C-alpha cells in the first residue's frame, strides 16, 4: 500500500488556488493508487510553534537524557517527522508569499529537519526513496521566460530543502497568475483545469 502525505498551508479554504490544485492532485492520485492511504496535514489546523529556547534545548539534548518537558517540547516535531518518514510520497500545496513560502510552511520545515532523524550527522539526507510534488499558487508568473522569474525564491528553496533531507525526485506544478481567479478574470475550475496535465503526470 502506497502512503501519501499531503501538507496544506493556505488560510483561504475553498477560495485557495493551491488547495484546489491539491484537491485535483488527490483525486488523480487516488485514481492511480487504489487502496493507497492519504494522510492530510493541514498546517492551518496544526498548532505549530516557531523554534524557541526550550525547543532548542530539547533538540540539542541526546534523547536518552530528555526530561518530560523536553519530550513535550519535541512532541509535535516528532509527530511531523514520523508522518514524513512513514510516507512513500509527499505533496505540498502552498501559496507564494513575498516571493517565498508562507511562515507556516517554513515553521513546518523547521520541525521536520531533525539531525539524526531526517538529516544525518554527516549532513546526508535520511528521507530517501520518496518522491515529492509541490503545488504552488502565486499571483504572479515566475516560470521560464517570465521577466520576473528570478524573484521566485519559493521554488529553489523548497527544492533545496527537500534535496537536503534526501528527497531528490521533486516535481513542481506552478499555478502562476492565480490573481486572475481572485480578479474574476477566470474561474477556479478553468485555472486549475489548465494545470490538469501537469497535475495528472505528477500524481501518476
Ligand X SMILES: Cc1cc2nc3c(=O)[nH]c(=O)nc-3n(C[C@H](O)[C@H](O)[C@H](O)COP(=O)(O)O)c2cc1C
Size of the site for ligand X (CB under 6 A): 17
First to last CA, the chain: 15
Q: Is 138 in the site for ligand X (CB under 6 A)?
A: yes
Instruction: In whole angstroms, give the CA distance from residue 40 to residue 5.
Output: 6
**Residue 198: CB minimum distance to ligand X, A:** 16
Instruction: Pick one of 36, 125, 140, 166: the residue that binds ligand X (CB under 6 A).
Output: 140
Name which of 19 and 33 has its Cβ closer to ligand X.
Answer: 19
> By CB under 6 A, which span of 29-37, 70-78, 97-105, 108-116 interacts with ligand X?
97-105
Reported as type and span, the H/E element at residue 199 is helix 196-203
Q: What DSSP assignment string belongs to 22-68?
A: HHHHHHHHHHHSTT-EEEEEEGGGS-PPPP-HHHHHHHTS-GGG--H
> By CB under 6 A, which span of 16-24, 63-71, 81-89, 116-124 interacts with ligand X?
16-24
CA atoms within 13 A on the CB side of 50: 4
Q: What is the DSSP letter of 97?
A: B
Q: Is 81 in the site for ligand X (CB under 6 A)?
A: no
Instruction: Pick one of 5, 7, 18, 172: the residue that binds ligand X (CB under 6 A).
Output: 18
**Residue 61: CB minimum distance to ligand X, A:** 36
Q: What is the DSSP letter of 186?
A: S
Instruction: In whole angstroms, give the CA distance from residue 192 to residue 147.
Output: 23
What mask of x and - would describe binding to ligand X in positions 146 to 185, judged by CB under 6 A?
Answer: --------------------------------xx------
Name which of 73 and 137 has its Cβ closer to ligand X.
Answer: 137
For ligand X, the binding residues (CB under 6 A) are 10, 12, 16-19, 95-99, 137-140, 178-179
Amino acid at each position: 500500500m502506497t502512503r501519501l502525505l499531503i501538507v496544506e498551508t493556505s488560510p483561504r479554504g475553498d477560495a485557495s488556488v493551491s488547495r484546489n490544485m491539491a484537491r485535483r492532485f488527490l483525486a488523480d492520485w487516488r485514481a492511480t493508487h487504489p487502496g493507497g492511504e492519504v494522510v492530510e496535514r493541514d498546517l492551518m489546523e496544526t498548532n505549530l510553534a516557531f523554534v524557541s529556547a526550550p525547543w532548542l534545548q530539547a533538540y540539542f539534548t541526546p534523547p536518552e537524557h530528555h526530561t518530560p518537558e523536553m519530550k513535550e517540547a519535541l512532541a509535535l516535531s516528532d509527530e511531523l517527522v514520523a508522518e514524513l518518514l512513514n510516507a512513500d510520497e509527499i505533496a505540498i500545496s502552498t501559496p507564494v508569499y513575498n516571493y517565498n513560502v508562507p511562515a507556516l510552511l517554513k515553521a513546518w520545515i523547521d520541525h521536520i529537519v531533525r539531525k539524526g532523524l531526517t538529516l544525518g550527522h554527516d549532513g546526508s539526507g535520511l528521507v530517501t526513496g520518496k518522491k515529492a510534488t509541490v503545488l504552488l499558487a502565486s499571483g504572479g508568473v515566475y516560470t521560464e521566460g517570465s521577466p520576473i522569474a528570478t524573484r521566485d525564491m519559493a521554488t529553489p528553496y523548497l527544492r533545496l530543502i527537500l534535496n537536503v533531507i534526501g528527497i531528490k525526485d521533486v516535481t513542481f506544478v506552478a499555478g502562476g497568475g492565480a490573481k486572475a481567479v481572485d480578479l474574476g478574470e477566470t474561474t477556479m475550475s478553468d485555472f486549475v483545469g489548465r494545470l490538469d496535465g501537469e497535475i495528472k503526470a505528477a500524481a501518476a
